[in-house]
Structure 1
């Protein structure tokens, strides 16, 4: 009988630790020493170039603390409810897709496609932006910026975007291991140490240049370049932009804080504050799914009059 390394590993881990393993965090935590080594190399390279202005140690420590708390909270959330929810979808799958050399690449493309829409919604739907804003609130770019993540992700429901693959019959462990590989790749493109690559690579892949543009709050860069490993879906759906002018990192309504609670919850609280403003139920609830910049005319007018 033909056997495959990934499925053998999954079977062994599940028989040892139980079925509800948070595979994404297993991979990311396992890769953390490599991440830190890569960051140390990046820092040395940039320091020797005399370009260490993106390395502010208070910001770096904040990024590391955000990353560590995110990993721990995601593990807890998976044990409490996400794992059970994911396996509900698995038990109601339409098919069972074998994992082998023929199916692995199409599945990865499916993961990348799901990630594109998760990432795009995380910018254009305020409910999801309340979590993703943490990642974009950093005003300096280095590899630790990739660790700048939110506790709210499991609450806002990142995992729902990948459930179509599970319903189609891809084992959740395979989906989340491949998604973790996607995130591992993205860690290394959060850097200014690498310039533009060969045009062919820039055309197909999310490179450091393409991802720097994604993090810009310049008007020309807002809500562009959502891809993870690939940039092809941005080209297909009209959200691609080339890095040209100097990138100004951060968010339009910048939060100036190193407090983990403030960084994690400031936008979530602001969203519910907007929902609580007087108006019809439809107007109030629209703040949950409208873009982050959406303002009700009456609310905006009243806030202006009160100034």
Structure 2
């Protein structure tokens, strides 16, 4: 039975020209909205509506809708062709079967971990991902707070090792959509900590609240999608202790203008690149961490060693 289901799924995903990631996410949108309605009712019943600001929620929904449309357009014009060419260079043919689906899902999770981690530590990728972290409130619509720039900055590149190995791009994108769909439900304060075994293995609401916190100990932690084990193995795990303060630690945008929310960091990055200076220093703004700044004249000045005696006046 399992083999039959996997064969059907493999056939269903045979067309690499369909953006299965967006098909799944659009198809799940009614479920997402119903889950948010339940979350709101639960938190309302608990008298905890502080994280529900309707202007913020409306911005989240608009950002999500714009992201959906732009991702489809990017897939039709660029992504599908680029990914299709990479798939032609594949080393093997790895079908989706009952035996391969879990290893492929684990591979997608591994690729996602590194995509997410570098989206925090390389400014080029951060210029897109920053949109998701610009919300200062946490509820399920925060998951919809996505950027128009993801395809431009190249999110799909991180999943190409699987495609080169021989997994169909459609299968990779479909399973990535499953991963993203799971993540929608962990953007919430309505669920506390789960059983310790689940907290150890999975990216739970508690673990993901940490990821969105700008508290000093929470910054750049808990990058997992469905699982949290790669964070534990690679030293990026942090447990939720104090209540997270949501948002961006530096350059927090204010307001709900969709153009500002989508492009503020991208434009700031290019302004830094275009500032006068050595070319290598200017280009470093693209690949250095988001907080990196050019050395100033003061930091570049030669400071005498502390052991040297300072000049003193000569007595007459």
**Same topology, TM > 0.5:** yes
Q: Is the 8 A contact 2:63 2:258 kept in 1?
A: yes
Q: Find the partner of 2:254 among 249, 256, 265.
A: 256
Return the alpha-carbon distance in structure 2 between the equivalents of residues 260 and 77 of structure 1.
Answer: 19
List per-residue Cα deviations over 1:104-146 (Å, max 9, x = no partner). 1011000000000000000000000000000000000000000
3-state secondary structure, aligned to 2:296: helix
Q: Find the partner of 1:245 among 237, 242, 247.
A: 242
Q: Which residue of 2 aligns with 1:160?
A: 157
Q: Which residue of 2 aligns with 1:8?
A: 11
Q: Is the 8 A contact 1:122 1:129 kept in 2?
A: yes
Q: TM-score, structure 1 length as denominator?
A: 0.94
Q: Does 1:279 align with 2:277?
A: yes
Q: Is the 8 A contact 2:10 2:97 kept in 1?
A: no
Structure-2 change in CA distance of 1:244 and 1:79 (3 Å): same
Return the alpha-carbon distance in structure 1 between the equivalents of residues 82 and 252 of structure 2.
Answer: 35
Q: Find the partner of 2:226 among 223, 226, 229.
A: 229
| Alignment map for 1:181-200 (pairs within 5 Å) | 181-200=178-197
Q: Which residue of 1 aligns with 2:304?
A: none
Q: Which residue of 1 aligns with 2:308?
A: none
Return the alpha-carbon distance in structure 2 between the equivalents of residues 36 and 196 of structure 1.
Answer: 23
Return the alpha-carbon distance in structure 2 between the equivalents of residues 269 and 257 of structure 1.
Answer: 17
List per-residue Cα deviations over 1:56-105 (Å, max 9, x = no partner). 00000000000000000000000000010010111110100121111110
| Alignment map for 1:1-307 (pairs within 5 Å) | 3=4, 4-11=7-14, 14=15, 19-252=16-249, 253-298=251-296
List per-residue Cα deviations over 1:191-222 (Å, max 9, x = no partner). 00000000000000000000000000000000
Matched positions, count: 295
Kindly report the root-mean-square deviation, in angstroms, between the aligned alpha carbons of the 2 structures: 1.3
3-state secondary structure, aligned to 2:200: helix
3-state secondary structure, aligned to 2:254: coil
Structure-2 change in CA distance of 1:98 and 1:299 (3 Å): farther
3-state secondary structure, aligned to 2:70: helix
Return the alpha-carbon distance in structure 2 between the equivalents of residues 300 and 163 of structure 1.
Answer: 44
Q: Which residue of 2 aligns with 1:304?
A: none
Deviation at 1:8, TM superposition (A): 2.2
Q: Which runs of 4 or more aligned residues in structure 1 lie more than 2 Å from their structure 2 counterparts after TM superposition?
A: 298-301
Deviation at 1:300, TM superposition (A): 9.2
Long gaps (5+) in structure 2: 300-316
Q: Is the radius of gyration larger for structure 1 or structure 2? A: 2
Q: Which residue of 1 aligns with 2:302?
A: none
